[in-house]
Structure 1
Amino acid sequence: MNQNTPAFKEVIDAHVAIEQWLSGNAPADQFDALMARFSRQFSMITLPGKVIDYQGLHSVFQHAYGKRAGLEIGIDELQLIATGPNLSVVSYREWQADAAGNRSVRRSTVVFEHNTNGALRWRHLHETPVTD
């Protein structure tokens, strides 16, 4: 796994930002920077199978600031599924643990849009819980 691959770097960097936001360790004025990572056409299939869009994600993050004290997020098993001039697809495993003792593991697949300036934006995310 080459973590210098732009799509891999974005998966890791985004999760650092999410961890900081949810744990309350990010400055509250970082909300717009967090949301800028996501396409306005963003969609997500959540762990329970609910579909949310950009506005849904916006609401989730807006209300979740600082709600996961001690949150740690780890990313591994990154795989580049496909890449092209406008899109990249990456799968990865994510684990989360927080100070309240909540723990979860999920496998996720993300589709990135490539912007004209070369930046990657999260276009679609599908999460599946790991129960073993």
Structure 2
Amino acid sequence: MLTPTACRAEITGLHEFFVEWFAGAAPRSDLSRLERALAPEFEMVTTAGERVDHEALVDGIAESHGRTAGEDFDIDVREIETVALLDDHAVVRYEERQSTAAGETGRVSTALFRADEAAPEGVVWVTLQETGLES
């Protein structure tokens, strides 16, 4: 069942996964967590306006395993709000801040989720639109 709580848990859980993955703390076998969280038709529009599909995102994340190992890196997710809740879909907006030794970047993201019992939190990401914030 699709609920705002499930969407919040998925957003938080996936970003925690990213921090561990980029640090190299998550085993490579854990990439399935990402694959199961994205709908097959998933598409993201990045802050640069590039369109990235399921396969390209998973491949890019796979190649980034351990990229921040030994560095200060964190992702802070804030202001999660449900914009629309339908029977089997939800639109959710949140703010994300990534911190590194070089500074902080931010974005506001709007995601469309669909109920999927096989997904880690019971919802899958269908589409994601990111808009960059000035630091």
Cα RMSD after superposing both structures: 1.7
The aligned residue for residue 87 of structure 1 is 89
Asked whether the 8 Å contact 2:117–2:123 carries over to 1, the reply is no
Using CA pairs under 8 Å that are at least 6 residues apart, name the structure with larger relative contact order, 1 or 2.
Answer: 2
Aligned residue pairs total 128
Structure 1 pair 102/28, CA: closer, same or farther in 2 (3 Å)?
A: farther
CA distance, structure 2, for counterparts of residue 24 and residue 116 of structure 1: 28
Asked whether the 8 Å contact 2:73–2:98 carries over to 1, the reply is yes
Identity %: 26
Tell me by how many angstroms 1:111 deviates: 0.5
> 3-state SS of the aligned residue for 1:5?
helix
Read off the aligned partner of 1:13 and give its amino acid letter.
G
Q: Please, what TM-score do these two structures have when normalized by structure 2?
A: 0.87
The aligned residue for residue 109 of structure 1 is 110
CA distance, structure 2, for counterparts of residue 90 and residue 19 of structure 1: 21
> 3-state SS of the aligned residue for 2:59?
helix
The aligned residue for residue 124 of structure 1 is 127
Asked whether the 8 Å contact 2:43–2:128 carries over to 1, the reply is yes
Structure 1 unaligned blocks of 5 or more: none
Tell me by how many angstroms 1:35 deviates: 1.6
Tell me if 1:41 matches 2:44. no
